[in-house]
Amino acid sequence: MQAIRETNFNLPGQTAFYRGKVRDVYTVGDKLIMVASDRISAFDHILPKPIPFKGAVLNQIAAHFLEATRDICPNWLLSTPDPNVAVGLRCEPLRVEMVIRGYLAGHAARTYSAGIRTLCGVTMPEGLRENDKFPEPIITPTTKADEGHDADISREDIIAQGIVSEAVYVQMEKYTRALFQRGTEMAAKQGLILVDTKYEFGIHQGQVVLMDEIHTPDSSRYFIADGYDERQAKGEKQRQLSKEFVREWLMANGFQGLEGQKMPDMPDSFVQEISDRYIELYEKVTGHKFIKDLTPEVQERIERHIKNSL
């Protein structure tokens, strides 16, 4: 199986290229062509080995949810000419990630266990245990970093610093809550709990537009709904579909992205496990069977499909 570490296409009419953590982004006219590579990141570091089919999983889950939420807010997606490719509108990115949390998990749980009850200016109630549901979802935004760590920030500081205007932030907040509610409902139909996720927005022709991926395992955390209450009552770990298990493996091997820490080597068996779990998430989240494209020359396939779409 070929895994896509990176692409280096020269597309007709191409005017810019940007390599993100997991996507290679080409600008052609007023369009962006996003190639979802098989790179995987954790703790804001790209891991040493790409994960077969991960890019196709992310791209197709994102397309599934972008199509299912067009009635809530406009989004950037125009077409998906290849399993690993999304073509969409070129927007002016807003430098804020809208993180929304329905449960005390991940970063919020680690903050809470350290005795801190305020996250991004939002007060978390006393008496919660890890993976408990919040009384209502909380929005804990971060500033979007080009490189390195995204930083927690409060709603008040975003507006005070002029990162976005209050009117734009209010619109992003409204969309975030509505998208999370839709994602929660769609997850429930598949026997899942949407725990937390993040959304990125941009401006296109003066309008706030949803960008990038949504409700994928890179941007979201899901619990298995069946048995959730029993596991919480017993204080057991929740069964989850996310890449948290990758973070846990890294932490168990002495890496949390901190200065001086060495990225551990990834055995092939672990790479395969990650691939299998991403495919499992695709099938559980969408309710569709994942079709593996086994074209031997995957880079040629992607480039051909992009050029045919332009």
Please state, in angstroms and rounded to a whole number, the distance separating the CA atoms of residues 71 and 185.
Answer: 15
pLDDT of residue 197: 97
Q: Would 125 be classed as within a structural domain?
A: yes
30 part of a folded domain: no
Write down the pLDDT at residue 87.
97
Q: pLDDT by residue for the chain (310 residues), tens digit each?
A: 689 999 999 999 999 999 998 999 999 999 999 999 999 998 888 999 999 999 999 999 999 999 999 999 999 999 999 999 999 999 999 999 999 999 999 999 999 999 999 999 999 999 999 999 999 999 999 997 655 567 899 999 999 999 999 999 999 999 999 999 999 999 999 999 999 999 999 999 999 999 989 998 778 999 999 999 999 999 999 998 878 889 999 999 999 999 999 999 999 999 999 999 899 889 999 999 999 999 889 999 999 999 999 8
Note whether residue 155 is domain-resident: yes
Residue 75 falls within a domain, yes or no? no
Residue 281's pLDDT is what?
84
Angle at 4 between CA 293 and CA 212, to 5 degrees: 90
Domain that includes residue 194, residue range: 92-241
CA distance 28 to 13: 5
DSSP state of 69: T
Neighbours of 1 (CB within 10 A): 11
- Do residues 158 and 122 lie in contact, with contact meaning Cβ atoms separated by under 8 Å? no
Give the three-state DSSP class for 178. Answer: helix
Distance (Å, whole) CA 12 – CA 36: 20
pLDDT value at residue 1: 62
Residue 204: inside a domain: yes
Using CA atoms, how far apart are residues 302 and 310, in angstroms rounded to an integer? 13
100 falls within a domain: yes
Strands 45-46 and 41-42: antiparallel
Is the residue at 260 inside a domain?
no
CATH number at residue 97: 3.30.470.20
Report yes or no on 99 lying in a domain.
yes
User: How many domains is the chain built from?
Assistant: 1
Strand partners, 14: 28
82 CB-near residues (< 8 Å, 6+ apart): 301, 302, 305, 306
Pairing verdict, β 45-46 and 118-119? unpaired
